[in-house]
């Protein structure tokens, strides 16, 4: 992975912004170190020998929970999924700092107001977190997919609403353009999406959710090659603040899913943002209905080929599902950390409640399940990066991480007793936020169906 020079510039921009300064300085260093890293291969560092432990094995690197993981390079070229590149480690630390310094103080107010603070969106852009995989020439950071997953996880530890805003913008909107749009459309929109324009991904409709390709929104080609869009999209994340939309529409119902095309649509083309949903969780993340009434879209704004919208949506949602897995993973971690810290301070029967075996066993069980979710999420991310099939693993990651998030955040409330049940501690918010993991970007049943279909194919059962 390399962070290129324009990424450094982008990330450095916010140094002047006092609240964001430290995190931004770290990201600039990430960029600089990333460039250095490309010139020295892992094999150029001193070889490390395998050793279980013990003084006699020094200076060989022992497997140890206390040694910094980044020092270790397997002589076989195989590492654990917890092994991140130095740049990824630094990015993680910088995002953690941004989330704690900038997002955390605003979480409760944003949830109560059911509104994203514009300063948070501005901060995400200034930090270079809204174009993580976009090429540096187009204003992005030029980072890996795993880097995007790290960012989504870290943000979710503090606020899953902020995390999904960043997730949808990066893994769905930017990625559709990066992978399928013409060079002209990429050059027109990606720099804006990297600097100040928020994007939405518009697939679902009132009558087509799980059966997404039964959509009714229509696209009609005009004699001059332009398109007219009509219809309604529902449940669209980021849509209250977005200025740019990826829209899927049906051009010929007789062709079924092969009649669907994807378009790059600007709000200024006439998109009407209608009802904003009042939700159980991720309340700061906007979810609205959108109306398209005779919207004229230029021919050049067709993304990919006519009739290939289905393929685009299917492929992109695999990446998106790893992103939701990361959101749920971060959420679970954030909830239990908050609760365990409280429980370690809280005394009953003369000692901290974490000193009771009944509590210790529950905590250990949940932490193990979070770790299992982490392995599934990062395994899917690395498979994607390696260009291997990852549809089943993405479904595993999303399904399991959302189950773990729900259980972990529910347990976190119980571990904090009455305090966990109040809105002041912020623990109950994680549980409310966790419910969405089983619904968007494919419900849990749809994940199970996807997994079984793939297994059926692998085992040649049909
Ligand atoms: C907060 C929020 C944000 C969202 N953001 C976006 C967005 O940005 N863009 C976008 O396009 N969409 C978005 N969505 C839509 C989301 O993807 C859909 O809600 C989801 O796909 C489920 O569709 P549905 O709500 O119509 O439920 P339905 O499809 O009606 O499902 C209801 C229940 O039936 C089950 N079910 C349906 N079909 C089957 C089947 N074949 N087998 C077994 N069980 C089945 C489901 O699992 C579910 O339990 C968002 C939704 C929410 C709530």
- Per the CB < 8 A criterion, the answer to whether 133 and 77 are in contact is no
The CATH architecture to which 5-39+80-195 belongs is Orthogonal Bundle (1.10)
- The predicted pLDDT at position 344 comes to 98
The Cα diameter of the chain in Å comes to: 81
Ligand 1 pocket (Cβ < 6 Å) reads: 168, 201-204, 209-210, 235-237, 279, 287, 436, 439-441, 443, 445-446, 449
**Tens digits of residue pLDDT in 64-80:** 334 444 556 777 777 78
DSSP state of 6: H
Beta strand 287-297 with 302-303 is unpaired
Cβ neighbours of residue 137 closer than 8 Å, sequence gap 6 or more? 6
pLDDT-wise least confident of 51-65, 198-212, 301-315 = 51-65
- The predicted pLDDT at position 19 comes to 34
Tokens linked to 429:
């918010």
Q: What percent of the chain has pLDDT over 90?
A: 81
* 261-287: average pLDDT: 98
Does the pLDDT of residue 33 top 70, yes or no?
Answer: no
Does the pLDDT of residue 426 top 90, yes or no?
Answer: yes
- The predicted pLDDT at position 72 comes to 66
CA distances to 101, 290, 339, 409 from 416, rounded to whole Å, are: 24, 40, 6, 11
Q: 204 CA to middle of ligand 1, Å? A: 8
249 beta partners: 261
- Per the CB < 8 A criterion, the answer to whether 214 and 208 are in contact is yes
Secondary-structure percent of the chain, ordered helix, strand, coil, rounded to 5: 60, 10, 30
Does the pLDDT of residue 55 top 70, yes or no?
Answer: no
Does the pLDDT of residue 188 top 50, yes or no?
Answer: yes
Rounded CA-CA distance 391/95 in Å is 28
* 373-395: average pLDDT: 97
- Per the CB < 8 A criterion, the answer to whether 410 and 428 are in contact is no
Burial class (CB in 10 A: 0-12, 13-18, 19+), 24: buried
How sure is the predictor about 87, in pLDDT bands with cuts at 50, 70 and 90?
A: confident
- The predicted pLDDT at position 62 comes to 36
Which atom of ligand 1 is the closest one to the Cα of 168?
8
Q: Which of 111, 210, 282, 321 to mutate to test the pocket of ligand 1 (most atoms within 8 A of CB)?
A: 210
- The predicted pLDDT at position 286 comes to 98
* From 315, 371, 441, 458, the catalytic residue: 441
Does the pLDDT of residue 29 top 50, yes or no?
Answer: no
Residue 421 CA, chain-centre distance (Å), reads 27
The CATH architecture to which 311-458 belongs is Up-down Bundle (1.20)
Q: Which of 443, 448, 449 to mutate to test the pocket of ligand 1 (most atoms within 8 A of CB)?
A: 443
Rounded CA-CA distance 331/366 in Å is 13
- The predicted pLDDT at position 80 comes to 83
Q: 234 CA to middle of ligand 1, Å? A: 10
Cβ neighbours of residue 182 closer than 8 Å, sequence gap 6 or more? 300
- In degrees and rounded to multiples of 5, residue 230 shows phi and psi of -135, 140
Tokens linked to 149:
């997953």
Q: Which residue has the higher pLDDT, 93 or 57?
A: 93
- Helix, strand, or coil (residue 266): strand
Tokens linked to 246:
């990826």
Does the pLDDT of residue 422 top 50, yes or no?
Answer: yes
- Per the CB < 8 A criterion, the answer to whether 186 and 178 are in contact is yes
Answer yes or no: 187 catalytic: no
Q: Give the angle subtended at the CA of 319 by the CAs of 315 and 320, to the nearest 5°.
A: 105
Nearest residue to 167 via CA among 399, 324, 334: 324
- Per the CB < 8 A criterion, the answer to whether 159 and 284 are in contact is yes
Tokens linked to 88:
């990824």
**Tens digits of residue pLDDT in 322-362:** 999 999 999 999 999 999 999 999 999 999 999 999 999 99
List the end-to-end C-alpha distance of the chain, in Å, as a whole number. 41
User: For 323-334, what is the HEC assignment?
Assistant: HHHHHHHHHHHH
Does the pLDDT of residue 27 top 90, yes or no?
Answer: no
- The predicted pLDDT at position 109 comes to 98
How sure is the predictor about 97, in pLDDT bands with cuts at 50, 70 and 90?
A: very high
Does the pLDDT of residue 21 top 50, yes or no?
Answer: no
* 221-233: average pLDDT: 98
* Residue-range domain boundaries for the chain: 5-39+80-195, 199-310, 311-458
- Per the CB < 8 A criterion, the answer to whether 116 and 165 are in contact is yes
* 82-104: average pLDDT: 93
Average pLDDT, the chain: 88
Tokens linked to 324:
């939701």
Q: 215 CA to middle of ligand 1, Å? A: 13
Does the pLDDT of residue 63 top 80, yes or no?
Answer: no
* 376-382: average pLDDT: 97
Beta strands in 184-241 (DSSP E): 199-202, 218-221, 227-237
Beta strands in 166-226 (DSSP E): 199-202, 218-221
- H-helix or E-strand containing 274? strand 272-276
Nearest residue to 410 via CA among 345, 339, 329: 339
Does the pLDDT of residue 12 top 70, yes or no?
Answer: no
- Cβ neighbours of 77 (radius 10 Å): 8
* CATH code assigned to 199-310: 2.40.110.10
- The predicted pLDDT at position 70 comes to 53
**Tens digits of residue pLDDT in 237-256:** 999 999 999 999 999 999 99
Backbone dihedral region for residue 238 (phi beyond 0: left; psi -120 to 50: alpha; all else: beta): left
Which atom of ligand 1 is the closest one to the Cα of 444?
47
Q: What percent of the chain has pLDDT over 70?
A: 84
Tokens linked to 333:
């971690």
* 443-450: average pLDDT: 98
């Amino acid at each position: 992975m390399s962070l290129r020079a324009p990424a450094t510039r982008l990330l450095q921009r916010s140094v002047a912004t006092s609240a964001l300064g430290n995190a931004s300085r770290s990201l600039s260093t990430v960029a600089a170190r990333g460039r250095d890293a490309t010139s020295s291969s892992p094999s150029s560092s001193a070889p490390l020998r395998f050793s279980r432990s013990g003084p006699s094995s020094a200076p060989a690197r022992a497997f140890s929970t206390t040694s910094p993981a980044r020092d270790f390079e397997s002589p076989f070229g195989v590492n654990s999924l917890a092994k991140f590149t130095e740049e990824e480690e630094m990015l993680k630390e910088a995002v953690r700092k941004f989330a704690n310094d900038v997002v955390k103080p605003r979480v409760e107010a944003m949830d109560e107001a059911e509104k994203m603070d514009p300063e948070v969106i501005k901060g995400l852009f200034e930090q270079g977190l809204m174009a993580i995989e976009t090429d540096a020439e187009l204003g992005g950071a030029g980072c890996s997919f795993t880097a995007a997953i790290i960012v989504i996880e870290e943000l979710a530890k503090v606020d899953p609403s902020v995390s999904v805003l960043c997730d949808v913008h990066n893994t769905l909107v930017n990625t559709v353009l990066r992978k399928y749009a013409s060079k002209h459309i990429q050059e027109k929109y990606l720099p804006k999406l990297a600097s100040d324009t928020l994007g939405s991904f518009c697939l679902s409709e009132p009558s087509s959710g799980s059966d997404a390709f039964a959509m009714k929104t229509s696209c009609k080609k005009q004699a001059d090659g332009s398109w007219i869009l009509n219809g309604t999209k529902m449940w669209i994340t980021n849509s209250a603040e977005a200025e740019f939309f990826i829209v899927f529409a049906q051009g010929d119902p007789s062709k079924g899913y092969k009649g669907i095309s994807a378009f790059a649509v600007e709000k200024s083309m006439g998109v009407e943002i209608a009802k904003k949903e009042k939700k159980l969780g991720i309340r700061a993340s906007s979810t609205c209905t959108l109306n398209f009434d005779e919207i004229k879209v230029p021919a050049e704004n067709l993304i990919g080929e006519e009739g290939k919208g289905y393929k685009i949506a299917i492929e992109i949602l695999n990446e998106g599902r790893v992103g939701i897995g990361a959101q749920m993973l971060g959420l679970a971690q954030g909830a239990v950390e908050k609760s365990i810290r409280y429980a370690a301070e809280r005394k009953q029967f003369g000692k901290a409640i974490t000193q009771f075996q009944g509590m210790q066993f529950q905590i250990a069980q949940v932490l193990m399940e979070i770790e299992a979710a982490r392995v599934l999420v990062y395994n899917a991310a690395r498979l994607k990066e390696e260009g291997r099939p990852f549809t089943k693993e993405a479904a595993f990651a999303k399904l399991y991480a959302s189950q773990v998030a729900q259980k972990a955040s529910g347990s976190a409330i119980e571990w904090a007793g009455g305090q966990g049940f109040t809105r002041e501690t912020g623990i109950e918010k994680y549980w409310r936020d966790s419910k969405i993991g089983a619904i968007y970007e494919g419900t849990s049943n749809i994940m199970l169906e996807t997994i079984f279909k793939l297994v059926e194919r692998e085992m040649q059962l049909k």
